[in-house]
Structure 1
Amino acid sequence: MRLAEYTDYTLRVLMSCAAQPDGLITIAELAERHGVSKNHLMKIVNDLARQGVLQTTRGRGGGLCLAKPATDIRVGDVVRNSETDFRLAECFDARTNACTLTPSCRLKGVLQGALDAYFKALDGVTLAELVAPPPPRSGGRRSVPIVAAVPVRRPAAKRG
């Protein structure tokens, strides 16, 4: 199974925000960091904001940040909300299934079991765990952080 590019970038946006919990990141910074167009990231950010996962602030000093703690965001939920199709084989869609093996085939059950295990693994991991510093390695080798730090900008004070 392969994640769609959209899901890959969705996870990168969320991981970048989780790595800077006290600051804002701009779409321009994310685009430069990941080599993705701003327009593509705008769609992702808008979807995540609509889902209540990201909070966006417009204007000078604006940017985006997580709308809830990274510990409350399960990777499985992000993947489910980003991917459009989990039909692993033709037989997963009863409306279009034309496979002649379907009545006696057990492949669908095996694939469904694999998909269930895939989501069980993803549901067991939070966004916070993805960006946490890795445990020290034996042998004295230093580990490199997954998400490179960018300058942190504090959210602008709200005027009221």
Structure 2
Amino acid sequence: MQLTRHTDYAFRLLIDLAARGGERTQIAQVAAAQDISHSHLMKVVNRLVHAGIVDAARGRGGGIRLARDPHDINLADIVRTTEPRCPMVDCGGCKLARRCRLPAVLDRAADAFITTLERFTLADILPPAQERASPSRTAGPAALRANL
């Protein structure tokens, strides 16, 4: 399974925002720091704002920041937000579609993938320096490794 660039950018954005510790920043700053297209990142931010994962404010003193603590942002929620319709196989035009059981097997695999992501939060994937800077509610990287 390969996630889209949209999801990759969402994770990079959220990790960057977590490193800023609640300070508002401009989309352009994150785009430059992460070498991401500004217009593409705006689309990612818009989707994450609508999902309540990122907070955005316009005007003087505005910008973006995490809407919740990294411990409260589940990785599965991020993927569900950025990959709302992510079939593992496109059966359109396949002559075997009516007799094939592959889509059902792949759906189960995708469910297992999401179930695994549900066990982790944004805090679990932050680099160690960021983890020390944020209040700890988990055992950190050791817990992450133990859960794998």
Residues 90 and 58 (structure 1), Cα distance of their counterparts in 2 relative to 1, 3 Å cut: closer
Gapped regions of structure 1 (runs ≥ 5): 136-160
Higher helix share: 2
Q: Following TM superposition, by how much is the alpha carbon of 1:97 offset from its aligned partner in structure 2, in angstroms?
A: 6.3
What is the RMSD computed on CA atoms of the aligned residues? 2.3
Tell me what 1:74 maps to. 74
Identity rate, percent = 38
Q: Which one-letter code corresponds to 2:17 in the other structure?
A: C
From 123, 131, 145, the counterpart of 2:126: 131
Tell me what 2:114 maps to. 119
TM-score by length of 1: 0.70
Larger Rg: 1
Size of the aligned set, in residue pairs, is 130
Q: Which one-letter code corresponds to 1:15 in the other structure?
A: I
Tell me what 2:96 maps to. 100
TM-score by length of 2: 0.75
Q: Following TM superposition, by how much is the alpha carbon of 1:30 offset from its aligned partner in structure 2, in angstroms?
A: 0.6
1:66-123 CA distance string (max 9 Å, x none): 11121111111111111143211234xxxx46432643x4433332222111111111
1:4-25 CA distance string (max 9 Å, x none): 1111111111111122223122
Gapped regions of structure 2 (runs ≥ 5): 132-148
Report the 3-state secondary structure (helix = DSSP H, G, I; strand = E; otherwise coil) of the residue aligned with 2:109.
Answer: helix
How far, CA to CA, are the matches of 1:117 and 1:47 in structure 2?
Answer: 24
Tell me what 1:151 maps to. none
Q: Which fold has the larger relative contact order, with Cα–Cα distance below 8 Å and residues 6 or more apart in sequence?
A: 1
